[in-house]
């Protein structure tokens, strides 16, 4: 469970988050969408104190991770971070370790798990994300989709109760997006609590319980995906979705623009 209460965050004189509140209930998936620079990444990063929120409170599984600019003391913060998996747009795999070492390292270092046990756990997770045969290669030899699946396995190795995804498929070639979304979908179905920044509308439709639209550091609208995509109440949501669809069509497959842009939103992956 993630509870974000009246969070503010500035970088220097730029206010990036302005009074953001949002709750992701247990075992639910919230998808955050919004234009570039609207503060999505910053919000996500505040949830495990990679950025320090200036004001407001954030609670993870009923534990306050930060309140009024004061994060938990280091030790407790580390423990809470260990239970909050984070997946980055740029994967951030450790290039000096093999795939399986990437996954088993944190359990060994943070949880003091025995190496053999950690390796077994890592292998199990790698098989789960379809990378059982890539355990002993270095990340540089993996495709983008494989890298991101390995990164997800690495986060899962800490047995997180909450997962944060920051545009996990934005750096991927289009044909590799599906395999990563599939893994995330499985996680959601298994009851993981997830907060996902993504512009994959098909995923949002299919997996999200709630879609949150951000613009300019604020939440402008939120609701179930059907409502946000088919019947948005805010003009900013409409404008964003239109721009997104135009971008999709321009980038992915050239075809004449649909009459109603919202109709043309890509469906399943």
Binding residues vs Mg ion (CB under 5 A): 41
The answer to whether residues 64 and 58 touch, using CB atoms and an 8 Å cutoff, is: yes
Binding segment (CB under 6 A) for ligand ADP, from list 33-41, 103-111, 129-137, 253-261: 33-41
Binding segment (CB under 6 A) for ligand ADP, from list 35-43, 127-135, 153-161, 242-250: 35-43
Q: How far is the CB of 132 from another protein (least distance, A)?
A: 18
Residue 26 vs residues 3, 23, 112: alpha-carbon distances, Å: 10, 9, 28
Q: How far is the CB of 240 from ligand ADP (least distance, A)?
A: 11
Size of the residue set binding ligand ADP (CB under 6 A): 10
Q: 3-state class of 21 per DSSP?
A: strand
29, 30, 42, 48: residue in contact with ligand ADP (rule CB under 6 A): 42
Site for ligand ADP contains 247 (CB under 6 A): no
**Which residues, 6 or more positions from 189, have their beta carbon under 8 angstroms from its beta carbon?**
none
Could you tell me whether strands 210-215 and 218-223 are parallel, antiparallel, or unpaired per DSSP bridges? antiparallel
**Which residues, 6 or more positions from 29, have their beta carbon under 8 angstroms from its beta carbon?**
188, 192, 193, 194, 195, 196, 207, 208, 209, 210
Site for ligand ADP contains 16 (CB under 6 A): yes
**Which residues, 6 or more positions from 251, have their beta carbon under 8 angstroms from its beta carbon?**
none
Q: How far is the CB of 208 from another protein (least distance, A)?
A: 22
Could you tell me whether strands 55-60 and 2-11 are parallel, antiparallel, or unpaired per DSSP bridges? antiparallel
29, 30, 38, 102: residue in contact with ligand ADP (rule CB under 6 A): 38
Site for another protein contains 134 (CB under 8 A): no
Q: How far is the CB of 5 from ligand ADP (least distance, A)?
A: 19
């Amino acid at each position: 469970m993630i509870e974000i209460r009246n969070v503010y965050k500035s970088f220097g004189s730029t206010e990036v988050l302005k009074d953001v509140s949002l709750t992701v209930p247990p075992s639910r998936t919230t998808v955050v969408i919004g234009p570039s620079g609207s503060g999505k990444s910053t919000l996500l990063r505040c949830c495990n104190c990679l950025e320090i929120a200036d004001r407001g409170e954030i609670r993870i599984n009923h534990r306050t991770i930060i309140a009024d600019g004061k994060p938990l003391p280091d030790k407790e913060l580390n423990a809470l971070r260990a239970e909050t998996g984070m997946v980055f747009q740029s994967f951030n795999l450790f290039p000096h370790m093999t795939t399986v070492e990437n996954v088993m390292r944190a359990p060994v270092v943070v949880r003091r798990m025995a190496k053999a046990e950690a390796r077994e756990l890592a292998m199990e997770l790698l098989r789960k994300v379809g990378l059982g045969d890539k355990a002993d290669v270095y990340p540089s030899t993996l495709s983008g989709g494989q890298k991101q699946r390995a990164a997800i396995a690495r986060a899962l190795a800490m047995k997180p109760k909450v997962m944060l995804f920051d545009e996990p498929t934005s750096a991927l070639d289009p044909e590799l997006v599906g395999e990563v979304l599939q893994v995330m979908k499985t996680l959601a179905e298994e009851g993981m609590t997830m907060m996902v920044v993504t512009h994959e509308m098909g995923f949002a439709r299919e997996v999200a319980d709630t879609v949150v639209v951000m613009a300019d550091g604020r939440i402008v609208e939120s609701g179930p995906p059907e409502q946000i995509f088919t019947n948005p109440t805010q003009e900013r949501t409409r404008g964003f979705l239109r721009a997104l669809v135009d971008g999709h069509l321009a980038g992915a497959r050239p075809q004449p623009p649909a009459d109603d842009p919202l109709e043309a939103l890509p469906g399943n992956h």
